[in-house]
Amino acid sequence: FFNSLALSMLTWQAFGVSRAAVGIGDAASSSFVRVRAPTMKWEVDIAPWELEYGLQRAPVRLPEGIKEGDPPQPFEINEEQRQTLFDDGAIVIPGLLTEEWLEYLRASTDWQVQHPHFWSIAGVASGLYDYIQRSVWASNKAFADFLYYSPLASALAGLSNAKELRLSTDLLMVNPNKGFKWHQDNQNGPIDAFGDNKALRWWVTMDDCPP
């Protein structure tokens, strides 16, 4: 949803709640085992009994003036920007999102980290990020609404002169904890689509990124 021609999201905030240990067995016997809920060091609780499994609805209000059912907000892409993307394979679009939209995303992300979804288990357990989850737009209505109503869809359509957009995948990433050497992802959609200029990867950062 949302974070840079790569269908991902990036923020630099951590949040969590510690949990008490759970005892199994007879405390008076030697068979008593003390089991701790599987929380990560950043205290994101991924214990199966603590996770949410269905559609989530973060209680975050849309920016002023945005109503459910509205079309995406407009955003004009000029020919020079389209040509830059074609020539360089990447482009930065300053001013695409207002501070209101960024605050909306930050609040939605903070809520998501505090209410981890079942789909985040493998990513969080890896320790690569404080929180990481694919397809967050399909599990949390707040992120779906960002796609529906923000200017992002208008900008992406303008870059490719498209009349219709279809989301292949998205990825919410919070606080990377390990560095990555150069690599090439292969799970973000059909590779041949990029050769025909039918697909875009995009990235939205919620915090300032130094040059």
Token couple for 98: 């207002």
Which pLDDT score, from 0 to 100, does residue 192 have?
62
What residues contact residue 155 under an 8 Å CB cut-off, 6+ apart? 75, 77, 93, 96
User: Apex CA 30: angle with CA 25 and CA 35, to 5°?
Assistant: 45
Closest CA to 156 of 194, 209, 202: 202
Query: What integer pLDDT is reported at residue 77 of this predicted model?
Result: 96
- Name the pLDDT band for 36 (thresholds 50, 70, 90): very low
Could you read off the pLDDT of 177-210 as tens digits, one per residue? 777 778 776 666 565 665 666 788 888 988 876 6
Is it the case that residue 73 has pLDDT exceeding 80? Answer: yes
162-180 pLDDT per residue, tens? 888 888 888 999 988 777 7
Backbone angles phi, psi at 112, to 5 degrees: -65, -40
pLDDT of residue 22: 32
Contacts of 19 (CB under 8 A, 6+ apart): 36, 37, 39, 45, 47, 50
State mean pLDDT over 1-8.
Answer: 34
Mean pLDDT within 78-107: 93
Separation CA 11–CA 173 (nearest Å):
7
How far apart are alpha carbons 149 and 64 in whole angstroms?
Answer: 12
Give pLDDT, residue 43. Answer: 64
Predicted pLDDT at 113: 92
Would you say residue 104 has pLDDT above 90? yes
Q: Apex CA 179: angle with CA 44 and CA 142, to 5°? A: 45
Please name the helix (run of DSSP H) or strand (run of DSSP E) that holds residue 108, with its range, or none.
Answer: helix 99-114
Query: Helix, strand, or coil here: 141?
Result: helix
pLDDT given for residue 201 in this prediction: 85
